[in-house]
Structure 1
Amino acid sequence: MLELLSPLSAGVNLALVLLSVVTSALSAAAGIGGGTLLIIAMAQVMPATALIPMHGMVQLGSNGGRAVMTWRHVRRDIVVAFLPGVIVGALVAAWLLIRLPYGVLELCIAAFVLYSCWGPGLPQRAVGRTGTVIAGALTTLLSSFVGASGPMVASFIKLGMSERLPRVATFATCMTFQHATKAFIFGFAGFVFRDWLGLMLVMIVAGFVGTWLGLRLLNRVTDHRFDFFFKWVLTLLALRLIWLGVERLGAG
């Protein structure tokens, strides 16, 4: 039955479904990180042509569920300012989107993850209506090419609020709108969602389960301890992805 979900093997399909539970719980409990961990793990086993659209649709379900469960805490002023930038970024991405050479996507994702972990943060002046629109446009465009723009969106949202629950709720809502644009972008580019629909739907359901679990762990995770271990997990996975990308470039 599991082998019918996608062109991947039954074992890989099962691993991705379980990973969807874990990463959704991680994002709900810590406010960030699940989407980045998911895409860098998916990149180890999925073809590059399916990676970004699959990740986008799964994250749409995961973030949408989190946004619904925490809607009372959403900062609507930030979401309203973020949305026009998302639309602009999606239109530009649909116009620019090309098929990258085999191996390049993996290297781009790895570089972005390493920068997210160890690069400088956003300046305080990024907060404001103009900064929010620009952030929405740039991160949506970036998300269409490297998938996981979550760390940049989360860094931006973190500047505007200190309480974790409003951060989680607002981040989830902004990411829901951003990932929703990928159905348009990749449908326009010719991606056949039907071939991956089974795995996509099961991972989305698994993401709802993970979100429910993670929200119950929300106040039990300390920021400092989470940040330390999570950065090193992502760094090791990014280095593995660089190796894989170089191998694929060589083979191509």
Structure 2
Amino acid sequence: MSAGSGRRIPPWGWLLVAVRLVAMLVTLALHLALYYLLAPFTRHNPVPRWFLRAIGHVAGLEVRTQGSRPAPGTFILANHVSWLDIPALASTAGSAFVAHDGLARIAPLRWLCRLNRTVFIARHERRSVAAQVGQVRAALGDAGVLTIFPEGTTSDGTARLAFKSSLLSALEGLDDVPVQPVRLDYGRDTRAIAWVGEEPGLDNALRILARWRPIRLTVRFLPPLTPAERSDRKRMAAAAQAAIERAGA
């Protein structure tokens, strides 16, 4: 572990990390084989969601849900605490994700994201908004449900960062698409698993994999935003953030 993380893994924790990493590699190999086996026979390949659910399980994630799960064609706005948010929403909502285009520069990660119908958007190029709207609509048709984390990065889960309305520009003009806020609540485990500050991502991942205790997460599906709340992207961002904060009160 780096000195910046301030949290060291004990010797017995490294054993658990090793076991879980091997299990994840085996899980990846099995699901890739199944993905390509099913690919010719299905447009909506379910294997990426099965894979992400399995990865969460291997990492010690225990998920329960509250509220009505999103209908097909729904766009989710969720708070962001950990990389575990992704397997949690993939397994409970069947969601694919919208990610910033920087991730697309990492070839192995881009390849895995593409398997799950990830939409890559350019956050700072307003000229590409029309193309991004088209990408989002096509991805909703392919994946059924899409999620974006409007904070733009992970928070400590206790004080949410301001939702960035610029990240929602791809939703403008999609008035027929339901927008549903979701609160991800790790309870007392929040501070222990949150990836914040100067902690490197690898250190955070290893620290989580070294935990013996399960990580309990409640996924709260909140009511979709009303037409008035989504009349423009700034109101949409504010309304979603307020709903998520109320759900944790």
TM-score by length of 1: 0.31
If you compute each CA radius of gyration, which structure gives the higher value, 1 or 2? 2
Q: Which has the higher contact order (CA 8 A, sep 6+)?
A: 1
Structure number with higher helix proportion: 1
Structure number with higher strand proportion: 2
